[in-house]
Amino acid sequence: MMTNATGFLEKFPGLKPTVLTLNGQFYFPFRREIGIGLGKLKGGVEASRESLQYLLENPRKGRAIAIVLGGSQELLDARPGAHVLYLSSRRGFCRFALQYGADLVPMYNFGENDVFNTISSPRGTALRNFQEFIKSRTGFCPPLANGRGIFNYTFGLLPHRRPIATVMGAPTRVDGVENPTREEDKLHAEYCKALTELFEAHKSLHNVPKDAHLTIY
């Protein structure tokens, strides 16, 4: 969305997209500049309550805000062929959507986990426990990933050349609620259901095995 590589501006004229991502992304030189200012859209913002509140209030219309909901926890399960989302405990976005009357649109990127090869660290293993420990202390723990180099295709920090397809579902209409409680749980359940149905509807078009399903923690 940030670079308009998928033609977002042409497909959704009149919307100004902004991507909210991990705060740690802005501490790495060059990567920070890419997130903040490069590309056609120039829309990288820290994923925080203050950022989201500002974007929803200024202006109130014409914004398309994309949030990577799983955060750093989801990174630890990112590997080729995996379709894992950390969403069960992520409910703040539903609360904001209800308070501001902002519609929710399910979106999934097929192939995103295939651009790097990662060392598997299943839950309960010593490596995973160490990664969880680092994350609990620093708030971020990058996976052990290997990509390609400038002059080779076997080792490096650049992503492999793999197709990534972004699919979007129909928006869930949201009416403004000043103090959402039960509405928040209902909206969260509807969003998870819509996201799962979106994955199932498109997986066969993007080389995902028939028996593979979206796992939501």
Query: What's the rounded Cα separation, in Å, for the pair 53 and 94?
Result: 13
* pLDDT value at residue 68: 82
Question: pTM score, two decimals?
Answer: 0.86
* pLDDT value at residue 184: 93
**106, 131, 193, 197, 198 from 210: Cα distances, Å:** 21, 31, 19, 14, 14
Judged on CB neighbours under 10 Å (0-12, 13-18, 19+), 94 is buried
Query: Which residue reads 């998928």 in tokens?
Result: 6
* pLDDT value at residue 60: 67
The three-class DSSP label of residue 94 is helix
Q: Please provide residue 145's backbone torsions phi and psi, each rounded to the nearest 5 degrees.
A: -120, 150
* Ranges of residues in the chain whose predicted pLDDT is under 70: 1-3, 24, 31, 33-43, 60
Comparing CA positions, the residue from 56, 55, 53, 89 lying closest to residue 71 is 89
* pLDDT value at residue 2: 64
* pLDDT value at residue 43: 62
* pLDDT value at residue 46: 82
